[in-house]
Structure 1
Amino acid sequence: MDWKDSYDIGVEKIDCQHRQLLVKLNDFFEACTNQQGKDKIEETLKFLKDYTVEHFGSEEQLMKDIDFPELTEHQKTHAEFVQTVLDLEESIKTKGVSVLSTIKLNRTLTDWLINHIHKCDKLIGDCIAAKGNKAV
């Protein structure tokens, strides 16, 4: 997947973190294309666990700083994503890596990029723009 300017929310720190996620996602996609997804899945899940702590923390603090009206709902979607990652990790620990687990991670990451970042996170940028960029 290629980064699209429409994914930018207008906050460099957040946009940079989103681009970092896309790079990791593309690494995983490439591994899957080369039948190496099983080898790459645990590394990708570890990255996601670390990434979500840092990124969601940054993003949620920004939302608090700008009095983002949908903060609570946004935090809920973050928590659901973290739980999905943890559930997938637990499944791999108990059942091992499978084609199904690589497909599930692929779908989860693609959905997150397209639906969450492109739609939900974009609202943060819109909120900042509506406030005249004074909040950041």
Structure 2
Amino acid sequence: MLKDWSEVYAIGIAEIDEQHRGFFEAAHRLYERILDREGRQAVVEAIAFMRSYANLHFQTEEAFMRAHAYPGLAEHLRLHTAFFRRLDELENELMIFGPSQDLADRALDITQDWLIDHIADEDMLYALHVKAEASA
């Protein structure tokens, strides 16, 4: 079961929090379709959404981090690149083998990992940097 959006995941940057909230909602739509055994069709849509979302969201985050001289920017960029590599692997498998329930399940796992680990941990680090910068 996916976690629901809560203010626990808010990093205090309105535009980025709104994008994260949208990602939670999209992950839940994918999860529901997989539970309804529509995963074969949902996986195509999910991978396309994740790539589109990541492009927009990462541009937003990276511009924000640059604007605030975030010292962890290089590492954060590596994490973004790693996310795209995972998407590339899913897309390659989709092109070679076609959609499957297994692929849908793995897309959901990647989504869940990203939601919980990256947003709650990594994104919070640059938010804390900005807050410390503002109070200095």
Report the identity percentage: 29
Q: Alpha-carbon deviation of 1:37?
A: 1.2
Q: TM-score, normalization: structure 1?
A: 0.94
- Give the 4+ runs in structure 1 shifted more than 4 A: none
Q: Distance in 2 between matches of 1:133 and 1:98?
A: 50
Q: Alpha-carbon deviation of 1:133?
A: 6.6
AA aligned to 1:19 is: R
Question: Match for 2:5 among 3, 6, 23?
Answer: 3
Residues 58, 80 of structure 2: 8 Å contact kept: yes
Write the deviation string for residues 75-120 of structure 1: whole angstroms up to 9, x where unpaired.
0000110111121011111111122211211111101111000000
Q: Distance in 2 between matches of 1:102 and 1:44?
A: 8
AA aligned to 1:6 is: V
- 1:96 aligned onto 2:98: yes
Residues 72, 126 of structure 2: 8 Å contact kept: no
Q: TM-score, normalization: structure 2?
A: 0.94
Query: What RMSD, in angstroms, separates the aligned Cα atoms of the two structures?
Result: 1.3
Q: Which runs of 5+ in 1 are unaligned?
A: none
Aligned pair count reads: 134
